[in-house]
Amino acid sequence: MKTGSLIISTFGDAVVPRGGRIWLGSLIGLLSPLQLNERLIRTAMFRLVKEGWMYSEALGRRADYMLTPAGQRRFEETALHIYASNAPIWDRRWRLILTVGQLEPKQRERLRRALFWQGFGVVGSDCFVHPSTDLTSAFDALRTDGMRDLLIHLMPLLAADAGSDLSASDTALVKSAWNLEQLGAAYMDFVGRYQPVLEAMRRDTHCEIGDERAFLLRTLLIHDYRRLLLRDPELPDVLLPRHWSGQKARLVCKELYRRLLTPSERHIALNMTLADGTTPPALAMLAQRFENDDPLALRA
């Protein structure tokens, strides 16, 4: 795991629902059981500040860390997908980003990797495609990733549904733009990793996993799931293979998260503090995550 990426996951899942700020020493204490030492976390936070994700606010010799406005927008956009009960409904219009003019090979690769982690597929060498993302948010994310200089070479477009038998099919576009076999295998790995834990908790309704372990497992669960969703364009069911493993992964994540929520929140309440020594309360948004799901119904 990359330390910075895990901190991003922790911030979005545990810190944002408690006001979005945390004392650095408290963050170090929460993540230290994952074998992330103080030096690694401090270095990662320095990079996140430099990259425009976060900023700090000093209080005496201590400092709280918070998301920048750009970082906040990216968290909100990602949270809509991570904690949603269902995949978004498709409006049958493709979002396109075209490259205009010449890009150096290193610039093109930076752009490709950045858009890959936003779920974009590639058609040819100059066109990136997505079924549902907000293009303004996509460009904001590129700015946050330090690619402001490339924006003058990019043209965002919204494609209309031609509805003609003479045009290329949506299925053909998907096959050209994404490697669904590779993504499906990654989802199966996720299910294989977390399904046994979920089944063990189902068998023993009085299972006491321990508050700290519940927090650590919840953190890793959301981290792994977030990394998958960042690559996933969340295609509509009609364009996905039968028995798509991403749907199974979503159900496993939902139920396991809800089962871990109460004990993990007890651990956060005891160990998360601000620079002034106070503990921020949980906001209403926390209870709303996966709120429409009945864990018993997910067993089917």
Q: Where are the domains of the chain?
A: 93-160, 179-271
Whole-model pTM: value is 0.85
Backbone angles phi, psi at 187, to 5 degrees: -65, -40
| Rounded Cα gap, residues 208 and 180, in angstroms | 38
| Rounded Cα gap, residues 41 and 58, in angstroms | 17
Place of tokens 């809800």: 258
Closest to 97 in 3D by CA, of 149, 53, 52, 142: 142
Place of tokens 């490339």: 150
pLDDT at residue 292, rounded to an integer: 56
| Rounded Cα gap, residues 23 and 266, in angstroms | 18
Q: Which fold has domain 93-160?
A: Alpha-Beta Plaits (3.30.70)
pLDDT at residue 166, rounded to an integer: 44
Structure tokens at 147: 């690619």
Give, for all 300 residues of the chain, the pLDDT tens digit: 689 999 999 999 999 999 999 999 999 999 999 999 999 999 999 999 988 889 999 999 999 999 988 888 878 878 878 887 666 678 888 999 999 988 898 999 999 999 998 889 999 888 999 998 889 989 988 887 788 889 999 999 998 765 655 456 888 889 899 999 999 999 999 999 999 999 999 987 766 789 999 999 999 999 999 999 888 988 888 888 888 999 999 999 999 999 999 999 999 999 999 999 999 999 888 877 876 554 434 343
pLDDT at residue 297, rounded to an integer: 40
Q: Which residues pair with 59 in a beta bridge?
A: 62
The rounded radius of gyration (Å) of the Cα atoms in the chain is: 20
Structure tokens at 119: 């779920």
Closest to 283 in 3D by CA, of 73, 13, 10, 16: 16
Closest to 231 in 3D by CA, of 139, 108, 115: 115
Q: Are strands 154-159 and 94-99 parallel, antiparallel or unpaired?
A: antiparallel
| Rounded Cα gap, residues 295 and 219, in angstroms | 19
pLDDT at residue 102, rounded to an integer: 85
| Encoded amino acid at 178, one letter | W
Laid out side by side, the sheet with 154-159 consists of 121-123, 127-130, 94-99, 154-159
Contact between residue 272 and residue 26 where contact means Cβ atoms under 8 Å apart: yes
10 Å CB burial of residue 153 (0-12, 13-18, 19+) is: middle
Contact between residue 253 and residue 288 where contact means Cβ atoms under 8 Å apart: no
